[in-house]
Amino acid sequence: MHNLHYFVLRASSAVAAAEEIDAKLDSWGDDNNYYHIGGVACEDGTDNIDNWGKGDDDNWVSLSQMHEDDDFPKTGTYYERALADVREEIDTPEDLNEEIQGVIKWLGDININGTQPPLPGVLLWQASEFLLTIKDKLHARQSDRLGLPSYRPWKVDDFGMTPIIKGHLDDTGLHEENTDQRRYVVFVDMHS
């Protein structure tokens, strides 16, 4: 299965951004779990790389293929589209409060004392995964208000975005270091 994971960082060039992410991921995976850098996009659209690095397998996601994906945003630079792709995921149209209340009610109806048949473990696992997804989305929304969405950071075999930004956060937002370098988003196709 392929999953797209984005990394955002400041670098001197698209090649430097790709090399930094490649170095960070180099020890990740095995024969059945591996990655490919499908491209690098600069925040201003002037320094992009399509299909950087290892191999030329048609199964890999590349920048030039992204416009063919019906679910991938169609306007803006590839950098802006990647941010929009993550924001679309974390801002799902469903009412999260209603969904959370439904799961809490469902879990509250479980009779732990055993007068009801025990709940199958798979249903508990589904409920826990759902609640973790809600937690991840709420965390990403909060981080996006501060300047950049962080959705399932370092969970490289899931769809998400990992910002690797040097600086600090406070109530006024993200204060970055190395602002003389441009921001890049590195598109990583994870196979697991």
As to burial, measured by CB atoms within 10 angstroms (0-12 exposed, 13-18 middle, 19+ buried), residue 107 is middle
* Cα atoms in the Cβ-side hemisphere of radius 13 Å centred on 192: 13
- Residue 28 belongs to a domain: yes
Helix 78-90 crosses helix 121-145 at what angle (to 10 degrees)? 130
Structure-block tokens of residue 59: 């199964």
- Residue 68 belongs to a domain: yes
- Residue 130 belongs to a domain: no
- Residue 132 belongs to a domain: no
The pTM of the whole model exceeds 0.85: no
- Residue 71 belongs to a domain: yes
- Residue 107 belongs to a domain: no
pLDDT for 42 equals 92
Domains contained in the chain, number? 1
Give the highest mean pLDDT range of 139-143, 155-159, 182-186: 182-186
pLDDT per residue as tens digits for the range 70-116:
778 888 888 888 888 888 888 765 556 676 776 777 666 665 555 55
- Helix and strand numbers (H, E) in the chain are 5, 7
Structure-block tokens of residue 131: 């609640």
Contact 188, 49 (CB under 8 A): no
Select the more confidently predicted residue: 167 or 113: 167
List the domain range (segments joined by +) for residue 173: 2-91+148-191
pLDDT per residue as tens digits for the range 30-42:
666 778 888 899 9
DSSP string, 5-42: EEEEEEESSHHHHHHHHHHHHTTS--SSSEEEEEEEEE
